[in-house]
Amino acid sequence: MNESVTRALTTIARYTALSLLLAFFTLPLLWLAFAPFDRTPTIAASLPRFTLDNFRQLLENPQALRSLRNSALLAAGTGALVVVFSALAAYALSRVRLPGRDALLYVLLLLSSIVTGTAAMVPLFNLAFELGLIDEQLGVILVLGGGLLPSAVFILKDFMDGTPRSYEESARVFGASPLQIVRHVVVPLVRPGLATIAVWSVAQVWGNFLIPFLLLRSPEKSPAAVVMYTFYTEGGQPDLALIATFSLLYSLPVVLMFLFVSSRYGFRFHGGIKS
């Protein structure tokens, strides 16, 4: 075959593949883009007859807004907990040689990817029950925090390992105390890492369905993930306008946060995953 024909065919094949990919990934999202603005949204994705009424209605739905507030509370609580605790632990583990440190980290990491959520459903439920944490948002925060911490420590330790020690030594020669060193020097240096962890844990909690579904009983405490699920599973005709606008509103914060962090720091795990 002629060289230029081969090349042309390759190019065509490549663009066809990319177009198919784009179609595959776009198709399910179309509904989310159109339905919220449609006067009479149906289950099919179609160009909307534009309106913002659906949003007005959503703002009048107390359950929807309350669930978003609950999600925010859970996400902020877990995020703060994970960032503070993992930063302290990662710093100590990065700087002080404790015996068996690396093996411990790997075991915890593996355990967290296995245990989190499903496999430990029963004892987590039991534990929350024994501690009186059923139907308490604190219970969800603690359980999610415990599950996210190993990965957070692992990723952050990598950031800490990457900062030169002379910064801290320099501060130390000038007489700074360990806590001053952490505050003045370490935290500013690993800010991108802290941001990554914050975004990552907030996003995990924001989208998590199982744990709040498992541990929270009263609808007033349920986060958006659970409420959204009840919108389309609980009897009767689903209110598509409500589902559509709520989906969009519920998705927006994570998307915005992701865009912010990836433009500011580049969303990466800083070599946290190595070959």
Partner 1 sequence: MAAISLTGLTKVYPGDVTALDALDLEIRDGEFFALLGPSGCGKTTLLRTIAGLESATGGTVAIGEREVTALPPGRRDVAMVFQDYALFPHMTVRDNIGYPLKIRKTPAARRSAKAAEVAAELGLADYLARRPGQLSGGQQQRVALARAMACHPSVFLFDEPLSNLDARLRLEARTFLKRLQRELGVTTVFVTHDQAEALALADRIAVLEAGRIRQLGTPTEIYRRPANTFVASFIGSTPMNLLPGTVRGAWIRVGDALLPGPIGTDAAAALPDGAEVVYGIRPEYLRYTAQHAADVPGALPGRVTVIENLGSTQLLTLDPVAGGPPLQVTVPEDLPVTVGEPGYALPRPERVLIYRDGNLL
Partner 2 sequence: MPSTSPGGDAAGLGRLRAALFTAPALLLIVAFLLFPALWTLYLGVTDYRLTGLAAADPSTVGLDNFERALNEDRFTDSLWLTVQFVIGSAVLGQALLGFTIAWLLRERTGVLRRLVEALVLLAWILPSSVVAFLWIALLDRDDGTLNALLGTPGTAWLLEHPMASIIVFNIWRGTAFSMMLYAAALGNVPPSQLETARLAGASTWQQLRDVVLPRIKGHVLTNLLLISLWTFNDFTPFLLTGGGPDNRTEIMPVLLYRTALHGGELGYGAALSVLMLLANLVIALVYVRLLRSRTKEPAA
Would you tell me which residues interact with partner 1 (CB under 8 A)? 164, 166-167, 169-177, 180, 184-185, 188-189, 191
Distance of closest approach, residue 46 Cβ to partner 2, in angstroms: 8
Residue from the set 12, 22, 59, 187 that interacts with partner 2 by CB under 8 A: 22
Which one, of 192, 178, 211, lies nearest residue 77 by Cα? 211
Cα separation, 224 vs 239, whole angstroms: 16
* Residue whose CB is less far from partner 1, 176 or 254: 176
Cα separation, 159 vs 139, whole angstroms: 30
Q: Per CB under 8 A, which of residues 209..268 are in contact with partner 2?
A: 209-210, 214, 224-226, 228-229, 232-233, 243, 247, 250-251, 254-255, 258
Cα separation, 11 vs 29, whole angstroms: 28
Site size with partner 2, rule: CB under 8 A: 93
Q: Does 126 bind partner 2 (CB under 8 A)?
A: yes
Q: Does 9 bind partner 2 (CB under 8 A)?
A: no
Cα radius of gyration (the chain): 24
SS3 state of residue 38: strand
Interacting span for partner 2 (CB under 8 A) from 55-63, 115-123, 188-196: 115-123
Q: Give the length of the chain.
A: 275
Q: Which does 75 bind (CB under 5 to 8 A by kind): partner 1, partner 2, none?
A: none
SS3 state of residue 272: coil
Q: What are phi and psi of 38, to 5 degrees?
A: -90, 140
Distance of closest approach, residue 172 Cβ to partner 1, in angstroms: 5
Q: Per CB under 8 A, which of residues 83..112 are in contact with partner 2?
A: 84-86, 88-89, 91-93, 95-98, 108, 110-112
Paired tokens of 209? 């369905």
Paired tokens of 15? 């663009």
Cα separation, 138 vs 135, whole angstroms: 9
Distance of closest approach, residue 173 Cβ to partner 1, in angstroms: 5
Which one, of 113, 167, 115, 144, lies nearest residue 215 by Cα? 144
Q: Which residues contact 264 (CB under 8 A, 6 or more apart)?
A: 195
* Residue whose CB is less far from partner 1, 146 or 192: 192
* Residue whose CB is less far from partner 1, 53 or 102: 102
Cα separation, 222 vs 214, whole angstroms: 10
* Residue whose CB is less far from partner 2, 146 or 192: 146
* Residue whose CB is less far from partner 1, 172 or 270: 172
Residue from the set 8, 9, 12, 43 that interacts with partner 2 by CB under 8 A: 43
Cα separation, 135 vs 128, whole angstroms: 9
* Residue whose CB is less far from partner 1, 96 or 173: 173
Distance of closest approach, residue 8 Cβ to partner 2, in angstroms: 15
Residue from the set 65, 125, 138, 239 that interacts with partner 2 by CB under 8 A: 125
Cα separation, 1 vs 12, whole angstroms: 16
